[in-house]
Amino acid sequence: MPDQTSLHSDTGGPGAGGATASVPPAVRVEGLWKRFGEQIAVAGIDLTLPAGRFIGLVGPNGAGKTTTLSMVTGLLRPDQGRVEVAGHDVWRDPVEVKARIGVLPEGLRLFERLSGRELLAYTGRLRGLPGDEVDKRAAQLLDVLDLAGAQHKLVVDYSTGMRKKIGLAAALLHNPQVLFLDEPFEGVDPVSAQTIRGVLERYTASGATVVFSSHVMELVESLCDWVAVMAAGRIRAQGTLEEVRGSAPSLQSAFLELVGANGRDAGESLDWLGGGGTR
Ligand SMILES: Nc1ncnc2c1ncn2[C@@H]1O[C@H](COP(=O)(O)OP(=O)(O)OP(=O)(O)O)[C@@H](O)[C@H]1O
């Protein structure tokens, strides 16, 4: 199993995924810390995510993924450290960064009393796009994401999967350079997941970057070409999928080894649990 130091840490050059030397990494994080009271959520991480990749940020519950993504996207101020997106400092240059990113955060809050179509129209105008361009893009996104039939329904009446899809459409509307998605497939049925996947694959094929967090290793393994593994507020590995997987048979096995979950009591101590018991 490779440790973090043996994996790519310097990116942006041709060896780091085909980007040219002049292209800054999609994300560069240095010494990032966040503490909530006694709880250290993110413990001084360094992370370099190359541009033009489909990147998975994986880790067990409570690893610090959401906290990291919130700091990287300018939603949560770090206690310490620096974050750059596409070469711009997130906290010194927020307007430059926000124009270049799309975000689908965890626990997405939407304008519930707007219809899906109105939400996209409003988002597009906030992004400074001309009205006719917003109309064109909104109609295409609603169509591709299979929401055209629900475009005049209020967002409050959308299902969990529909909310994810309209949130994704809003995040893509201004054609961002880097798209951040926190658990984009959670609560999404397989058909919608396939649709979202198709949209994201098309988006990265054109040179844009997707960074998404997930616990689902099979999904990350099938979608991502670059992976960062987080546990207990630290980065345990980062690199291409092949590098992080190393000699392990799957990303799941590599992950369990990296986060130290192999050999954990798998419920043997619950000797009272099971059928046939009397109490
Ligand atoms: N606002 C907060 N106040 C207090 N503690 C917090 C807060 N946000 C996160 N934490 C703590 O920070 C740690 C990291 O949480 P975070 O949500 O970033 O993890 P995660 O990797 O996204 O987890 P999950 O996969 O379960 O969503 C956890 O111990 C969590 O309890």
How remote is the CA of residue 73 from the centroid of ligand 1, in Å?
Answer: 16
**Counts for the chain of helices (H) and strands (E), in that order:** 9, 10
Question: End-to-end CA distance of the chain, in Å?
Answer: 44
Atom of ligand 1 nearest to the CA of 42: 14
pLDDT reported for residue 265: 64
How remote is the CA of residue 82 from the centroid of ligand 1, in Å?
Answer: 20
Q: Within 13 Å, how many C-alpha atoms sit on residue 73's CB side?
A: 24
pLDDT one-digit tens code per residue, 86-111: 999 999 999 999 999 999 988 788 99
Classify burial at 10, counting beta carbons within 10 Å of its beta carbon; exposed 0-12, middle 13-18, buried 19 or more: exposed
Both tokens of 124, joined, read 């597009």
> Which residue shows structure tokens 């310490």?
80
For the stretch 248-251, contacts whose Cβ atoms lie closer than 8 Å and that sit 24 or more positions apart, written own/partner, are: 248/1, 250/217, 250/221, 251/58, 251/217, 251/218, 251/220, 251/221, 251/227
How remote is the CA of residue 107 from the centroid of ligand 1, in Å?
Answer: 13
- Please answer whether residues 179 and 208 qualify as being in contact, where contact means their C-beta atoms are separated by less than 8 angstroms: yes
Cα 235 to Cα 9, 29, 43, 80, 226, distances in angstroms: 11, 11, 9, 16, 14
Ligand 1 and 65: CB distance under 6 A: yes
**Beta strands in the chain, from DSSP E residues, in sequence order:** 27-36, 39-49, 54-58, 80-85, 88-89, 101-104, 178-182, 209-214, 226-231, 234-240
Q: With CA atoms as reference, report the closest residue to 48 among 224, 204, 228.
A: 228
pLDDT reported for residue 86: 95
pTM: 0.87
pLDDT reported for residue 258: 87
How remote is the CA of residue 272 from the centroid of ligand 1, in Å?
Answer: 32
pLDDT one-digit tens code per residue, 172-181: 999 999 999 9
Ligand 1 and 220: CB distance under 6 A: no
- Specify the DSSP class assigned to residue 248: S
Ligand 1 and 61: CB distance under 6 A: yes
How remote is the CA of residue 208 from the centroid of ligand 1, in Å?
Answer: 28
- Please answer whether residues 25 and 72 qualify as being in contact, where contact means their C-beta atoms are separated by less than 8 angstroms: no
Of all protein residues, the one whose alpha carbon is nearest to atom 13 of ligand 1 is 41
pLDDT one-digit tens code per residue, 150-169: 999 999 999 988 999 999 99
Which of 34, 38, 39, 219 for a ligand 1 pocket mutation test, highest count of atoms within 8 Å of Cβ?
Answer: 39
Alpha carbon distance 240, 264 (integer Å): 27
pLDDT reported for residue 264: 64
Ligand 1 and 41: CB distance under 6 A: yes
Q: Is 227 left (phi over 0), alpha (psi -120 to 50) or beta?
A: beta
Q: Is 128 left (phi over 0), alpha (psi -120 to 50) or beta?
A: left
Alpha carbon distance 263, 124 (integer Å): 50
Supply the ipTM of this predicted assembly: 0.97
pLDDT reported for residue 266: 65
pLDDT reported for residue 272: 81
Ligand 1 and 165: CB distance under 6 A: no
| pLDDT beneath 50: ranges in the chain | 1-20
Can you name the residues that pair with 82 across neighbouring β-strands? 30
List domains and CATH numbers for the chain.
22-258 (3.40.50.300)
Q: Tell me the residue type at 266.
A: A
pLDDT reported for residue 186: 84
